[in-house]
């Protein structure tokens, strides 16, 4: 294993790597507010044992990566309303910038091409990277994510509130662990969660440093980016969409929308899984990621080689 902080797109990003150094790289991209430590160790180790170089990192505004200090110009409720109406949302950055972070991380690590695995917001970043950086992405696995369309069924209010507007007092580790248990119970499905592994992740997050403002920044980035549909038709790598059948935060319709928009994408709905990765689904998730990576080795690009962010004009719902 190795870890450290590298510079990417003007950010400092913390990363962790495991598995053989000469293995094909799989880059794991985490979701809203979550540090890389929320990837289940069992899943990362499974892929490393299969011979892949497994890399996970903290997005900007999470964990030990750069925190963005920007003024708050809109509240989450007002921003959500503007997003639903197709109006511009004020945000310090968008998912386009987080794509540039991701590609810059690959550059800094000397990786020309990688398999991408993203969860929730990380799935959106992975999808957008595969669509606009065709020559850099070997395969795409998007988990509990969506095409970010404003016309999808909305999250259940209790699930959304736990992430973007929790009214709880968190001043001690014990309070944070209690908050974490409550949040995961609200966004999980019907399958038992690994409480020990979740406590490990929340404890590590506390020790590594919390960034409450970063949660709002990332949420605004999602809203400001808008629908990914106009990009997803450009994806040329093998793509696997995985979604929980009981997800209260990003409903199964979100995963289905991504699968419909991405050419040749495969869809797996895992019954009982919510907006989490409980132990019962990890073997299947690992199998799907590996199978998608293997499909990349057996296939040729369908076209569009060499597209980069500099080549693909990316507008963000009416504003740059």
Per-residue tokens: 68: 């963005």
Name every residue whose Cβ is closer than 8 Å to that of residue 49 and which is 6 or more positions away in sequence.
19
User: Could you give the percent of the chain with pLDDT greater than 70?
Assistant: 92
Cα torsion 185, 191, 192, 194 to 10°: value is -80
Name every residue whose Cβ is closer than 8 Å to that of residue 140 and which is 6 or more positions away in sequence.
115, 116, 126, 127, 130, 235, 237, 238, 239, 240, 262, 292
The least confident of 77-86, 131-140, 202-211, 224-233 is: 77-86
pLDDT of 298: 61
How high does pLDDT run on average in the chain?
Answer: 91
pLDDT of 75: 78
Does pLDDT of 84 surpass 90? no
How confident is the model over 117-139, as pLDDT tens digits?
999 999 999 999 999 999 999 99
Per-residue tokens: 267: 């869809």
pLDDT of 74: 77
* pTM, 2 dp: 0.92
Q: CB atoms < 10 A from the CB of 179, how many?
A: 16
Query: What domains appear along the chain, each with residue ranges and CATH number?
Result: 2-298 (3.40.50.1820)
Per-residue tokens: 103: 């590609």
Distance CA 182, CA 296 (A): 39
- 191-212 mean pLDDT: 97
pLDDT of 217: 94
pLDDT of 26: 98
The least confident of 113-117, 122-126, 301-305 is: 301-305
Distance CA 172, CA 197 (A): 20
Does pLDDT of 101 surpass 70? yes
How confident is the model over 138-174, as pLDDT tens digits?
999 999 999 999 999 999 988 887 777 666 788 999 9
Does pLDDT of 305 surpass 60? no
pLDDT of 301: 38
How confident is the model over 226-263, as pLDDT tens digits?
999 999 999 999 999 999 999 999 999 999 999 999 99
Residue tagged 């009982």 (tokens): 272
Q: Are strands 11-18 and 2-8 parallel, antiparallel or unpaired?
A: antiparallel
Distance CA 203, CA 68 (A): 23
Question: Quick check: 33 and 121 in contact, CB under 8 A?
Answer: no
Question: Quick check: 222 and 132 in contact, CB under 8 A?
Answer: no
């Amino acid at each position: 294993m190795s870890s450290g902080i590298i510079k990417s797109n003007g950010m400092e990003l913390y990363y962790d790597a495991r598995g053989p150094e000469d293995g094909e790289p799989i880059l794991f991209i985490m979701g809203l507010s979550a540090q890389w430590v929320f990837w289940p160790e069992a899943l990362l180790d499974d892929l490393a044992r299969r011979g892949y170089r497994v890399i996970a990192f903290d997005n900007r505004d999470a964990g030990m990566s750069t925190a963005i200090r920007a003024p708050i110009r809109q509240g989450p409720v007002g921003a959500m309303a503007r997003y639903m109406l197709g109006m511009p949302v004020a945000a310090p950055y968008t998912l386009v910038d987080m794509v540039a972070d991701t590609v810059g991380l690959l550059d800094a690590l000397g990786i020309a091409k990688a398999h991408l695995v993203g969860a929730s917001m990380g799935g959106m970043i992975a999808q957008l990277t595969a669509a606009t950086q065709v020559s850099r992405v070997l395969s795409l696995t998007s988990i509990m994510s969506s095409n970010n369309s404003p016309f999808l069924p909305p999250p259940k209010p209790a699930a959304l509130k736990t992430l973007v507007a929790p009214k709880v007092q968190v001043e001690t580790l014990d309070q944070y662990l209690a908050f974490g248990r409550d949040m995961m119970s609200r966004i999980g499905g019907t399958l038992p969660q690994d409480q020990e592994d979740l406590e490990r992740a929340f404890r590590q997050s506390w020790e590594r440093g919390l960034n409450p403002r970063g949660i709002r920044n990332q949420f605004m980035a999602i809203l400001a980016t808008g629908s990914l549909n106009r990009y997803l038709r450009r994806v040329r790598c093998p793509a696997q969409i995985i979604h929980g059948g009981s997800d209260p935060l990003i409903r199964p319709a979100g995963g289905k929308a991504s699968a419909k928009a991405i050419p040749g994408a495969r869809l797996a709905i895992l019954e009982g899984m919510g907006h989490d990765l409980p132990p019962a689904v990890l073997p299947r998730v690992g199998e799907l990621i590996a199978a998608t990576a293997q499909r990349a080795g057996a296939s040729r690009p369908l076209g569009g080689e060499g597209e980069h962010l500099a080549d693909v004009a990316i507008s963000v719902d009416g504003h740059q």
